[in-house]
Amino acid sequence: MDVLPYLVAVWIFLAGCYGLATSRNLIHAVGCLSVCQSATYVLLLAVGYRDDATAPVFSDIEPGSRPVVDPVVQALALTDVVVGATVTALLLALVIQVGKRHGTVDPDELSELRG
Amino acid sequence: MNPRTRLALVVVAGTGLAVLLVAACLRLPRFGGDSHPYGDRAVHTSLARHTANTVASVNFDQRAFDTLGEMTILFAAVVGCVVLLRQTRDEHRARPEPADVTPPVRRYALIVLPIALATGLYVIAHGQLSPGGGFQGGVVAATSLHLLYLGADYRALERVRPVGLYEVGDAVSAAAYVVTGLAGLIGGTAFLANTLLPYGTFNTLSSGGTVPLLNAAIGMEVACAVVVLLARFLDQAVEIVEESGK
């Protein structure tokens, strides 16, 4: 039972990988990459969790009165979200241009090079 | 490669990866355990520097240099999208047509817009005190402007959103972050070290030294970046059409 949150992260990651490998549409593939990335959020937050702890924000709790979860991994998850969003934006921009130039977003039909 | 071989390869490689990952998970520290040495030190430092939101302290004080890198990634991605989604030679701009919006949607969008904008600005301003901060509030504030696109039409959005100004704002706020860091050097400490300003009273808006300044710079940068990004994608969808065809 203790490893269940980690296994959830593994499962999400593998589901995203499966989607990436079998994708027939580049927009769908970008979505699958986001699924892979969300596995890292689950893993990070699972690593930082502490039993019976609350958020590491002291505006409404007395410091030291309650255990708090690890703020370092939460900051890392925030970095992760930002990088994920930028990667998604860049990839979608590329997909738009691929769609315009080649008339298809199916990766299997994009095999030949075109100048 | 035909789909069947590929699927077989994916299954074999995926099973191997799954076995390795599960084996790694079994050796990880227990979920919910009490040993978080970095977390404990981060909380301690955050309280010593009068920053109520420890996550903001980690982002804008203890790992401020890392956030500089993160901001640079965002900035580079915006530049990349602007270049990728530019108007090419065989395309031209069409005037967007005025669109009909059903009254309930229009009413809802126009009521929620000011609330969402105020929420975004509130989240940015209170980043050092309560959950949230520049990144989260910036996205909320930038998204709220686009309710105008849903509630009215694209031309109304373009009137309140001069993209050039937001591009300048993006660059200025990125520079403001670096300048705040350099101020530390001039003040005789280190780049982005939070030792220059007084830490203020715990749990007030001005507490945390340079944390509120860096937080505001990030808030503005993220808001501008999201507006510019969405503007480029919306341009592709609404305005830019190819010369031939369509």
Give Cα separations from B197 to B126, B185, B211, B212 (angstroms).
Answer: 18, 13, 10, 11
Residue A81 lies in a domain: yes
Which residue does chain B place closest to A100, by CA atoms? B242
B196 versus B234: the higher-pLDDT residue is: B234
Determine, yes or no, domain membership for A21: yes
Q: Which domain holds residue A64?
A: 4-109
Is 0.90 exceeded by the ipTM? Answer: no
A115 domain-assigned: no
Look at residue A69 and tell me if it is in a domain. Answer: yes
The encoded tokens of residue A79 equal: 């970095």
Structural domain count, chain A: 1
Residue keyed to tokens 């969402």: B116
Mean residue pLDDT of chain B comes to: 89
Residue A112 has pLDDT above 80, yes or no: no
- Answer whether residue A56 is part of any domain: yes
Which residue in the set B32, B74, B77 is minimally distant from A49, CB to CB? B32
As a residue count, chain B comes to: 246
The pLDDT assigned to B4 comes to 87
Residues of A in contact with B23 (CB under 8 A): none
Residue of A1, A58, A74 to mutate, testing the B interface (most B Cβ within 10 Å of its Cβ): A58
DSSP-assigned beta bridge partners for residue B32: A50
Q: Mind listing the pLDDT tens digit for each residue in A48-65? A: 999 988 999 998 888 888
| Rounded distance between C-alpha atoms, residue A33 and residue B167, angstroms | 28
Please name the residue of chain B whose CA is at the shortest distance from the CA of residue A88. B77
Q: Determine, yes or no, domain membership for A114.
A: no
What CATH number does residue A27 fall under? 1.10.287.3510
Residue B245 is predicted with a pLDDT of 47
Residues of B in contact with A2 (CB under 8 A): 30-32
Query: What type of residue sits at position B82?
Result: V
Q: With contacts defined as CB-CB under 8 Å, which chain B residues touch A63?
A: 43, 47
